[in-house]
Copies of this chain bind each other. A is one copy, B any other.
Amino acid sequence: MPRSGAEARDRLERGALELYIERGYDQTTIADIAARAGVTQRTYFRHFPDKREVLFSVESRQQQALADALAEVASSAPPLAAVLQAFRSMAPALEDNRPLAVARHRVISVTPALRERELMKEAALGAVVADALRQRGLSEWSATLLAQVTTAALGHAIHTWVADRNSDINDLIVQAFTDLGEFASSHLGPR
């Protein structure tokens, strides 16, 4: 019953995940979540704008981390390599929270409403990448194209990672980029 905002917020996040797993997203009411965290419904809405967002605070942190990582990559590195390096720098943090990530994705994958939100977060990540690429001098067209495509590849790597207990996210990211390059050049040919 601490009054401190951060703790209540944390309890709301954990409780929501638990409830969404126990009963399913649709069968869980915001009142339930608030009750489990020992606060009122109104308080829930001060911390999160809607019923979905409780599960996505992680993504916000990842987005910030990615932005920082992108800024640190040497500006001499070619675009794709820079993005790859930034993505790989996120691996440790991801690997540390594997159990949580697996639990989250289990609920998300069976709940359309949550999947929509997840795609939105992925798009937000893409926007961050696009910004970084623009600052590296890429045209609007190229920056956005590469950002969208690489983000899609990252999403694919992460999905495979949470689904396969024995996989390593860093390896999967590298694999995705490698395969992408291989397919692209062998079938469409770079001039």
Interface class of chain A by DSSP = helix
Q: Are B176 and A181 in contact (CB under 8 A)?
A: no
* Bound Cα distance from A178 to B156, whole angstroms: 22
In the bound complex, residues from chain B placing their C-beta under 8 Å from that of A69 are none
Say yes or no for A68: interface residue by CB 8 A criterion.
Answer: no
Copies in the complex: 2
**A116-B117, A153-B145, A160-B141 are known contacts. Are A182 and B191 too (CB-CB below 8 A)?**
yes
Q: How many residues of A contact B (CB 8 A)?
A: 43
Chain B residues whose C-beta falls within 8 Å of the C-beta of A142 in the assembled complex: 179, 183
Residue positions of A touching B, CB distance < 8 A? 78-81, 84, 112, 115-117, 119-120, 122-123, 141-142, 144-146, 148-149, 151-153, 155-156, 159-160, 176-191
Closest approach, in angstroms, between the C-beta of A183 and any C-beta of chain B?
6
| Distance (whole angstroms) from the CB of A110 to the closest CB of chain B | 14
Residues of B with C-beta under 8 A to A78:
186-187
Distance A147 CA – B5 CA, assembled complex (angstroms): 42
> Which residues of chain B are within 8 angstroms of A117 by Cβ–Cβ distance?
116
CB distance from A20 to the nearest CB of B (A): 18
How many angstroms between the C-alpha atoms of A21 and B112 in the bound complex? 26
- A179 vs B185: C-alpha distance when bound (angstroms): 11
Whether B149 contacts A153 by the Cβ 8 Å rule is yes
